[in-house]
Amino acid sequence: MWSAKKWKSALQALSFLLVLFLHRQASADYNWVVKESTYTRLCSTKSILTVNGKFPGPVLRAYAGDTVYVNVHNRGRYNITIHWHGVKQPRNPWSDGPEYITQCGIQPGGSFRQKIIFSIEEGTLWWHAHSDWSRATVHGPIFVYPKPGTSYPFPKPHAEVPIILGEWWKSDVMEVLDEFVRTGGTPNVSDAYTINGQPGDLYPCSKSETFKLSVDQNKTHLLRIVNAAMNSILFFSVANHNLTVVAADAAYTAPISTPYITISPGQTIDALLFTDQQPGSYYMAARAYQGNLAIGFDNTTTTSIVEYKDGNGNGKTPPLFPYLPYYNNTNAAFGFFNSLKSLAINQTDVVKTTTTRMVSTVSVNTLPCLGNQTCEGPNGTRLAASMNNISFVDPRVDILQAYYYYIKGVYKEGFPDFPPLIFNFTAEDFPLILEIPERDTKVKVLEYGSDVEIVFQNTNLVAGIDHPMHLHGHSFHIVGTGFGNFDVKKDPLSFNLVDPPLRNTVTVPLSGWAAIRFKARNPGVWYLHCHLERHLTWGMHTVFIVKNGKHPNETLLPPPPDMPPC
Ligand code: C2O
Ligand code: CU
């Protein structure tokens, strides 16, 4: 007979082997096929672009520090690229994904084996297409677990649940894109928001498919929430339940209990849901936060249901509906953002002294209509968008290749460190001339090891709105946000350099500013852009080139052999 002790050690050995096995699984090669699939939503059927026929797409699972390979096969009709949002990819911009920035599109029939290098990220991230508007349906979550042998900085949850917030158009999104690019106007707003691909009970023909989360009472569920919507910052909440936020953008936060969250496109939130209510059904719901109600937006509400397993009233009485702040409640939106603070492990790298300081305006602009066209922007103009008054023009060959192989004429250096003109950015009215940006392909070059501060100054040119600004290849600390014009002398005095949240996407408030700091220690070509898709299409972006450092482990990795041709 084995003693209890012997059993215990045998079990330990077994579970160690299991962990090893699972770990190997996580490092395996995956095959992803981008292809059209037929989906029915809102009483109509259409063909959408998917990965492996799934919407939302497959979950990518990894342990912190893993390297994972995904073979992306394009069996669709358009060029496509895939981006691993929030994965820093140390020294490896080759697999980062944004079209014309780090690669050209994978052509129909082509393949690209992407190497995804995880480092310090832990929590939830996501992947999405990064060419034209394909990301509307080509996206999915990434779950990054603590390394085997380590644990979460909170009690282990009983279950984990992806909550993917999306946006659905009845028409083909490529047509939505083509139309507003052609006319110079705004894109048609979406017809629904979705939770895990389903609009929910409040939309026609949707009720039977509503996503339901079946739960046991008095258990902790880890909600892995992703805002994969194209153009909407969202409020999300669960009826009768507070959420305990434990991570944002795959960096742990000091836990905070909150009745709702605000989440911008690109952002992720890990939140614990403790099922301590009476058995029954409770709605989870999401709808837009829209700081400026004069701008058209989808004002519908998506729902799913938390259903207690032992609830005998299930399905008989309608689920309780949660509190959501009103659409334009900026205080509620930023009250949540500003409540997030880093957990100790993410406080160590806060930049205290900067070597590079930049201020960049983020603006919606207008361009004159060309030739004999009629344009649908304000007063017959074409809408555009800019950073420091440069509306970015995508090159034909990607910037990474141009940089690596010294190809001339693809991009220019010298993205300005400051706005070209200082005026009252948050005024109500402007002379028309201020609305017209330059169109150019200008990048900002950073020395390896730079300690960078960027202040994003929102402007009310054309129409003020909040902008979720996302940086590839890095996370940054959000050291401050405020309303009005950034005051270079006064505002830095109140920066939080102690426990600022570590994120990859910062929401710049309407009529306000946000300041971020990061250490440029990742050589490569890294995109910086607004994650509202229409603003990205209009040119609200630029690129950082971080040069190689001195040591061999501070230099770019060589390109993979199968980079898609331009
Ligand atoms: Cu979600 Cu440029 O990325
Ligand atoms: Cu924007």
Q: Are 53 and 93 in contact (CB under 8 A)?
A: no
Whether the per-residue pLDDT at 13 is higher than 60: the answer is: no
Mean pLDDT of the chain: 94
CA-closest candidate to residue 167, choices 201, 126, 197: 197
Backbone φ/ψ region at 414: left (φ over 0), alpha (ψ -120 to 50), beta: left
Whether the per-residue pLDDT at 1 is higher than 80: the answer is: no
> If residue 22 lies in a helix (H) or strand (E), which one and from where to where?
helix 4-26
Domain contains 559: no
pLDDT band (50, 70, 90) for residue 8: low
pLDDT of 265-324, one tens digit each?
A: 999 999 999 999 999 999 999 999 999 999 999 999 999 999 999 766 556 678 999 999
Whether the per-residue pLDDT at 5 is higher than 80: the answer is: no
Q: How many CB atoms neighbour CB 39 within 10 A? A: 16
**Residue in the structure block whose two tokens are 């039977």:** 208
pLDDT at 433: 84
pLDDT at 18: 47
State whether 13 and 62 are in the same domain.
yes
Q: Are 147 and 64 in contact (CB under 8 A)?
A: yes
Section 452-475 average pLDDT? 97
Whether the per-residue pLDDT at 17 is higher than 50: the answer is: no
Q: Are 377 and 185 in contact (CB under 8 A)?
A: yes
pLDDT at 3: 57
Q: Which amino acid is at 199?
A: P
Does the C-beta of 85 come closer than 6 Å to ligand 1? yes
State whether 544 and 469 are in the same domain.
yes
d(CA 246, CA 341) in angstroms, rounded, equals 10
Share of the chain above pLDDT 70, in %: 94
Does the C-beta of 139 come closer than 6 Å to ligand 1? no
Does the C-beta of 442 come closer than 6 Å to ligand 1? no
CA of 267 to the centre of ligand 1 (A): 10
CA-closest candidate to residue 239, choices 318, 152, 158: 318
Does the C-beta of 527 come closer than 6 Å to ligand 1? yes
Indicate which ligand has the atom closest to the C-alpha of 532. 2
d(CA 480, CA 338) in angstroms, rounded, equals 9
pLDDT of 29-43, one tens digit each?
A: 999 999 999 999 999
CA of 476 to the centre of ligand 1 (A): 15
Whether the per-residue pLDDT at 4 is higher than 60: the answer is: no
Q: Give the chain's count of helices (H) and strands (E).
A: 5, 33
First vs last C-alpha separation in the chain: 68
Q: Which of 318, 337, 356 is the last residue of a domain?
A: 337
Section 67-90 average pLDDT? 98
CA of 467 to the centre of ligand 2 (A): 4
Domain contains 61: yes
Burial group, residue 461, by CB count within 10 angstroms (0-12, 13-18, 19+): buried
Domain contains 565: no
pLDDT of 382-431, one tens digit each?
A: 999 999 999 999 999 999 999 999 999 999 999 999 999 999 999 988 88
Domain contains 151: no
Is cis: bond before 56, omega within 30 of 0?
A: yes
State whether 14 and 101 are in the same domain.
yes
Indicate which ligand has the atom closest to the C-alpha of 464. 2
State whether 85 and 214 are in the same domain.
no
Domain contains 1: no
Domains in the chain: how many in total? Answer: 3
State whether 320 and 405 are in the same domain.
no
Q: Which of 314, 337, 360 is the last residue of a domain?
A: 337
Whether the per-residue pLDDT at 72 is higher than 60: the answer is: yes
Indicate which ligand has the atom closest to the C-alpha of 131. 1
Whether the per-residue pLDDT at 229 is higher than 90: the answer is: yes
pLDDT at 7: 54
Whether the per-residue pLDDT at 20 is higher than 50: the answer is: no
Does the C-beta of 444 come closer than 6 Å to ligand 1? no
State whether 120 and 170 are in the same domain.
no
d(CA 540, CA 77) in angstroms, rounded, equals 27
State whether 121 and 214 are in the same domain.
no
pLDDT at 311: 63
CA separation, residue 430 to residues 365, 427, 436, 459, 483 (Å): 11, 7, 11, 10, 18
Whether the per-residue pLDDT at 19 is higher than 50: the answer is: no
CA of 60 to the centre of ligand 1 (A): 17
pLDDT at 15: 54
For residue 362, give the CATH number of its domain.
2.60.40.420
State whether 123 and 255 are in the same domain.
no
Q: Are 415 and 475 in contact (CB under 8 A)?
A: no
CA of 406 to the centre of ligand 1 (A): 26
Domain contains 392: yes
d(CA 348, CA 531) in angstroms, rounded, equals 27
Q: Are 519 and 349 in contact (CB under 8 A)?
A: yes
Q: How many CB atoms neighbour CB 552 within 10 A? A: 7
Q: State the sign of the Cα–Cα–Cα–Cα dihedral 173, 174, 178, 179.
A: negative
Q: Quickly list H helices, 274-373.
A: 330-339
Q: Which of 337, 363, 388 is the last residue of a domain?
A: 337
Share of the chain above pLDDT 90, in %: 90
State whether 370 and 513 are in the same domain.
yes
SS3 letters across 142-178: EEEECCCCCCCCCCCCCEEEEEEEEEECCCCHHHHHH
Does the C-beta of 135 come closer than 6 Å to ligand 1? no
Domain contains 31: yes
CA of 325 to the centre of ligand 1 (A): 27
State whether 329 and 387 are in the same domain.
no
pLDDT of 144-168, one tens digit each?
A: 999 999 999 999 999 999 999 999 9
Domain contains 134: yes
> CA 66 from chain center: how many Å?
21
> CA 307 from chain center: how many Å?
29
CA angle (260, 230, 246) in 5-degree steps: 35
d(CA 463, CA 478) in angstroms, rounded, equals 25
Q: Are 477 and 501 in contact (CB under 8 A)?
A: yes
Q: Which atom of ligand 1 is nearest to the CA of 527?
A: 2
State whether 171 and 140 are in the same domain.
no
State whether 332 and 352 are in the same domain.
no
Whether the per-residue pLDDT at 330 is higher than 70: the answer is: yes
Show the domain range for 209: 159-337
pLDDT at 26: 47
Whether the per-residue pLDDT at 23 is higher than 90: the answer is: no
Taken as a whole, the chain contains a residue count of 566
pLDDT at 12: 55
Does the C-beta of 266 come closer than 6 Å to ligand 1? yes
d(CA 500, CA 259) in angstroms, rounded, equals 22
For ligand 1, atom 3, the nearest C-alpha belongs to 85
